[in-house]
Amino acid sequence: MTVSVLVVDDSGFFRKRLTEILTASGQIKVVGAATNGREGVELAARLRPDVITMDYEMPVMDGISAVREIMRSNPTPVLMFSSLTYEGARVTLDALEAGAVDFLPKNFEEIARDTSELQKILIQRILDVAGSRPGARSSAPVTRTSPPVPRPRTSPPERPGSAGGAAVRPARPLAPEARREPAAEPVRKPSRKTAARHYSVVGIGTSTGGPVALQKVLTTLPASFPSPIVLVQHMPASFTPAFAERLNKLCRIEVRQAEDGDVLRPGLALLAPGGKQMMVENRGGQARVRILPGDDRLNYKPCVDVTFGSLARSFPGKTLGVILTGMGADGKEGCRLMKQSGSVVWSQDEKTSVIYGMPMAVARAGLSDEILPLEEVGPRLIEGAH
Catalytic positions, written as ranges: 207, 234, 330
Q: Cβ distance 172 to 48 under 8 Å?
A: yes
The span from the CA of 69 to the CA of 180, in Å, is 28
The span from the CA of 80 to the CA of 56, in Å, is 7
Helix axis angle, 12-23 to 115-130, nearest 10°: 80
Characterize 230-239 residue by residue with b for buried, 16 or more Cβ atoms within 10 angstroms of its Cβ, and e for exposed: bbbbbbbbbb
* Cα–Cα distances in angstroms (integers) from residue 255 to residues 107, 158, 219, 319, 380, in the given order: 30, 37, 11, 19, 20
- Say which residues have a Cβ less than 8 Å from residue 120's Cβ, sequence separation at least 6: 112
The span from the CA of 111 to the CA of 263, in Å, is 34
* Cα–Cα distances in angstroms (integers) from residue 231 to residues 61, 227, 247, in the given order: 34, 13, 11
Characterize 173-200 residue by residue with b for buried, 16 or more Cβ atoms within 10 angstroms of its Cβ, and e for exposed: ebbbeebebeeeeebeeeeeeeeeeebb
Cross-strand pairs, 104:
81
The span from the CA of 218 to the CA of 380, in Å, is 12
- Say which residues have a Cβ less than 8 Å from residue 20's Cβ, sequence separation at least 6: none
